Amino acid sequence: LDANCAPAYINLGEIYYKSDRIESAIVYLNQAIELFPSSGEAYYYRGKAYEALGMLCQAQADVARACQLGHAPGAIESFFRSK
């Protein structure tokens, strides 16, 4: 893994999120955001991970940031409708 490759960290975060390894997902997504703070996808998946942990304030903040960055508007709208 290239330590400076944000897309790799995003992919790992998504894989861990979808594998229900939420804490690991957050670790990788934090690294992705540190390397590439304009990644809406990283914020989106970290928001979903926070939601899975019941950390709703953090989840909403991350999903809102993902929306500001232009990531997956349909998915983001359904996220807020489900709350």
Q: Are residues 13 and 45 in contact, defined by beta-carbon separation less than 8 angstroms? A: yes
Beta strand spans in 1-83 (E): none
Its pTM surpasses 0.95? no
Q: Are residues 24 and 17 in contact, defined by beta-carbon separation less than 8 angstroms? A: no
User: pLDDT (tens digit, 9 = 90+) per residue, 45-77?
Assistant: 999 999 999 999 999 999 999 989 988 655 544
User: pLDDT (tens digit, 9 = 90+) per residue, 10-31?
Assistant: 999 999 999 999 999 999 999 9
